Structure 1
Amino acid sequence: MQMTEAGLMLHRSASQILRDVELVRQEVMAEGKHLTGDVIIGATPSVIAMAGAELIRACRERLPRVRPRLLEGYSAYLQNWVLTGSIDVALVNGLQPDSPRLVSECLAVERLFAIGPPGMFAGDPVGLASLLEHALLLPSAQNPIRSLLDAGAAGLNLSVSTVLEIDSVTLLKDLVRQGLAPAVLPFGAVKYELETGVLSASPIVTPEIRSDLDLIYLADRPPTRVASEVIDMLLEILRQIVSKKEPNGFVEIRHRASVRRKAKT
């Protein structure tokens, strides 16, 4: 048996209503002494690699009745999951221009890095013009990181040449490791590979390519108290990482209370 299009629409609408009812129930429970409830947070591979495990550990210790669920994905996919109600909030590398019904908060800024096989980059900054002499492995044009790189190249009257467009961080890193071509990613996306020596990286300069890390959510479904607590905990973890002065790629980590909210209508 296969559902009709009308049936699929009804199923999606019913699922959304049930999710909204559950969020209301959790808000009521959160008014008690202990925060209780579930929260589904989407995040980019860079954020998950840098802070995902520590966030889960911190939640278990400090918010034992809260059950966070983390979903990893590229920004365009995360944005779509927020729009469909599949996840509560997401941390993305900037919004796509066609983003109706969404509110965004710029919570952090991170630098983009040139990524290569062992020995290709020694950690010293690499000029964008020099990097663009190579054909690159990059995500597709809908990815904000790709848009930032294209804009940086245009500012130098240059263009970006690609070997392949790949919307999988795991596959992209594996192909870089094999020597197919260099790539461009945030530092966190290759943190483990840099620590183990299977990849090399250098920050991009002249110009420096920076990406906003935005919290996004539906305008009519702002973060619950539970979600807000978990988001604040995540930002605290990122600030701790930056304070250690170890390589991390972050330029700035902001406090939500001081961030201006932008709505797309």
Structure 2
Amino acid sequence: MFDLKQLQLFTAVAEFGSFSRAAVALSISQPVLSRQIKALEDKVGVALLYRNGRGIVLTEAGKILQSYAVALLEQAARAETELAALRSNPRGTIVLGMPPSVGVVLTAPLVQNFRAQFPQVSLRVIEGFSGHLLEWLVMGKIDVAVLYNAPRMNNLLAEPILRDELFLLGAKNDPHNLGPGPVDADVMSRLPMILPARPHGLRVVLDHILGSAGIEPNIEVEVDAMPSTLRLVEAGIGYTILS
């Protein structure tokens, strides 16, 4: 493996035909330059240049290496330029996963802001329940996800966005006469509940909270789709929990 710095010094010596002139142009001392060229020759195992009365002359091996070194340095410079451009104006595709309940609120403003800040990046948004999103994230099918109660995992970086409240939703005519205001959690053991199945993130949170309080919810129907859940609630089939 070649050291790009050594190749840069070597091509400078070859171009100027003199250690002293190359050292001045590169703003380094001549002994340091000589040691770097000697190290390069030791690495390739052959002499690359020799001195004559008029200065520095490349050997046949030196001429071969010079042609490759110039090409390598040009490629490295192009790569550095392109990477710098990506840092200031990134390109590519980002796949973002969100639960439907979050997507209703977040998708439109997020896409608008993302396109304004990163016009060269294509954003793909996928909706799914937190359990599925976590699985896709671990498998590399998506790049980033918004999850309920994201678990701590060594191979994932998690940042809290906000704390949300949970609400009990029922039909407008309030079939079980719960009335306005807060209700006790144990009411879920008596009400017909419509909840998503595991591994939906909300279901996992509810099972943990209710289980620790010794409450077993009366689950009438499991539905893994928010629009269908809301229609069932509006029809008076049962109650549900949503943020």
Same fold (TM over 0.5): yes
For residue 89 of structure 1, what is the amino acid of its counterpart?
A: V
For residue 191 of structure 2, what is the amino acid of its counterpart?
A: H
Cα displacement (A) at 1:55: 1.4
2:147 to 72, 81, 92: 92
For residue 182 of structure 2, what is the amino acid of its counterpart?
A: P
Cα displacement (A) at 1:136: 0.5
Does residue 160 of structure 1 match 2:217?
yes
Do the aligned residues in 2 keep the contact of 1:36 with 1:65 (CA within 8 Å)?
Answer: yes
Cα displacement (A) at 1:71: 0.8
For residue 40 of structure 1, what is the amino acid of its counterpart?
A: V
For residue 124 of structure 1, what is the amino acid of its counterpart?
A: G
The two structures have a TM-score, normalised by structure 2, of 0.57
Distance 2:188 2:134 in 1: 29
Aligned to 1:130: 187
The two structures have a TM-score, normalised by structure 1, of 0.53
Cα displacement (A) at 1:92: 0.7
Distance 1:183 1:76 in 2: 19
Does residue 31 of structure 1 match 2:87?
yes
For residue 113 of structure 2, what is the amino acid of its counterpart?
A: A
Greater than 6 Å deviation, 4+ residue runs: none
Do the aligned residues in 1 keep the contact of 2:193 with 2:219 (CA within 8 Å)?
Answer: yes
Do the aligned residues in 2 keep the contact of 1:76 with 1:142 (CA within 8 Å)?
Answer: yes
Do the aligned residues in 1 keep the contact of 2:192 with 2:238 (CA within 8 Å)?
Answer: yes
2:125 to 50, 63, 70: 70
* CA 100–61 in structure 1, closer or farther in 2 if over 3 Å, else same: closer
Does residue 147 of structure 1 match 2:201?
no
Do the aligned residues in 2 keep the contact of 1:128 with 1:153 (CA within 8 Å)?
Answer: yes
Which structure 2 residues correspond to residues 1-265 of structure 1 after superposition, within 5 A? 29-32=85-88, 34-95=89-150, 101-120=155-174, 124-186=181-243
- Classify the secondary structure of the residue corresponding to 2:169: strand
- Classify the secondary structure of the residue corresponding to 1:102: coil
- Classify the secondary structure of the residue corresponding to 1:41: strand
* CA 109–135 in structure 1, closer or farther in 2 if over 3 Å, else same: same
Output one character per residue of 1:35-60: Cα deviation in whole Å (capped at 9) or x when no partner: 33321110111221112111122223
- Classify the secondary structure of the residue corresponding to 2:140: coil
Distance 2:235 2:142 in 1: 35
Higher strand share: 1
For residue 169 of structure 2, what is the amino acid of its counterpart?
A: I
* CA 85–125 in structure 1, closer or farther in 2 if over 3 Å, else same: same
Output one character per residue of 1:99-152: Cα deviation in whole Å (capped at 9) or x when no partner: 673332322221111122224377632221234320211111322322222233
Please, which runs of 5 or more residues in structure 2 have no aligned partner?
A: 1-81
Identity %: 25
Distance 1:104 1:49 in 2: 22
* Higher alpha-carbon Rg: 2
- Classify the secondary structure of the residue corresponding to 1:64: coil
Do the aligned residues in 2 keep the contact of 1:76 with 1:143 (CA within 8 Å)?
Answer: yes
RMSD of aligned Cα (Å): 2.6
Please, which runs of 5 or more residues in structure 1 have no aligned partner?
A: 1-25, 187-265
Distance 1:165 1:150 in 2: 13
Distance 2:114 2:180 in 1: 34
Distance 1:167 1:179 in 2: 18
Aligned to 1:214: none
For residue 118 of structure 2, what is the amino acid of its counterpart?
A: L
- Of structures 1 and 2, the one with the larger relative CO (CA 8 A, separation 6+) is 1
Distance 1:150 1:173 in 2: 20
Higher helix share: 2
Cα displacement (A) at 1:88: 0.4
